[in-house]
Amino acid sequence: FRSVSQSRYLPQLGVVATFAGNSDRTLEAIQGIDYIADIRAKYAILSIVRNDVGSGVATATWQANYATIVQKLQQAGTIVVHLLEAPEINASGGLSQANQDLINNFLINSYGIEHCIDIRTGWDNATMLSSDNIHPTEQGGRYIAKKIKDSGLIPLIDNVEIDQNWAEFLINKIPK
């Protein structure tokens, strides 16, 4: 998830762990990928390329890094789902339409539209994009959660009780 906010709108996902921070790029994800793969999550929703493109990382580099992330997760038995980029406003740090298209086309062409969640249709920048022109608002977070739910790519659970042993495992695995 881009942030924890989207997961809180969809408790039927069960336990959700977010492995990203402000300005993280694919390089930072690779540095922690072994830890993430060790968790052996059933599913991973990836949304990480935006910061690479926005900070000028070479296309070949972020594409190779992304492929490595996907490969490591798949080797661990994780089903990878790709979240396409939400439209941004090309001002105050927002990506240009050409860069948004570059990312989305890479994901679709490399992994297939059937493994992607497209949040662009129905997206409204006026209500779903925060004033930084990059991050979703609360309404945008709810919209992304609904798109994840409606995609059918990740089976939802009816019982949303958290397994305490699993929660403790995750807490103890977090690097101090």
pLDDT digit string, tens, across residues 61-98: 999 999 999 999 999 998 999 999 888 776 656 788 89
Q: What is the pLDDT of residue 138?
A: 83
- Could you tell me which residue, 164 or 47, shows the higher pLDDT? 47
Is the model's pLDDT at 13 over the cut of 80?
Answer: no
Residues 6+ apart with CB under 8 A from 176: none
Enter the DSSP assignment of 94: P
Q: What is the mean pLDDT of residues 104-116?
A: 97
Closest CA relative to residue 14, chosen from 162, 169, 167: 162
Q: What is the pLDDT of residue 146?
A: 85
Give the helix/strand (H/E) hosting 5: helix 4-8
Adjacency order of strands within the sheet including 43-46 = 43-46, 79-83, 116-117
d(CA 3, CA 23): 12
Q: 105 to each of 22, 32, 89, 99, how far by Cα in Å?
A: 24, 26, 19, 10
pLDDT of 14-31, one tens digit each? 666 666 666 788 998 888
Is the model's pLDDT at 169 over the cut of 50?
Answer: no
Identify whether the C-beta of residue 52 lies closer than 8 Å to the C-beta of residue 87.
no
Count the neighbouring beta carbons within 10 Å of the beta carbon of residue 56.
6
Structure tokens at 112: 């297939």
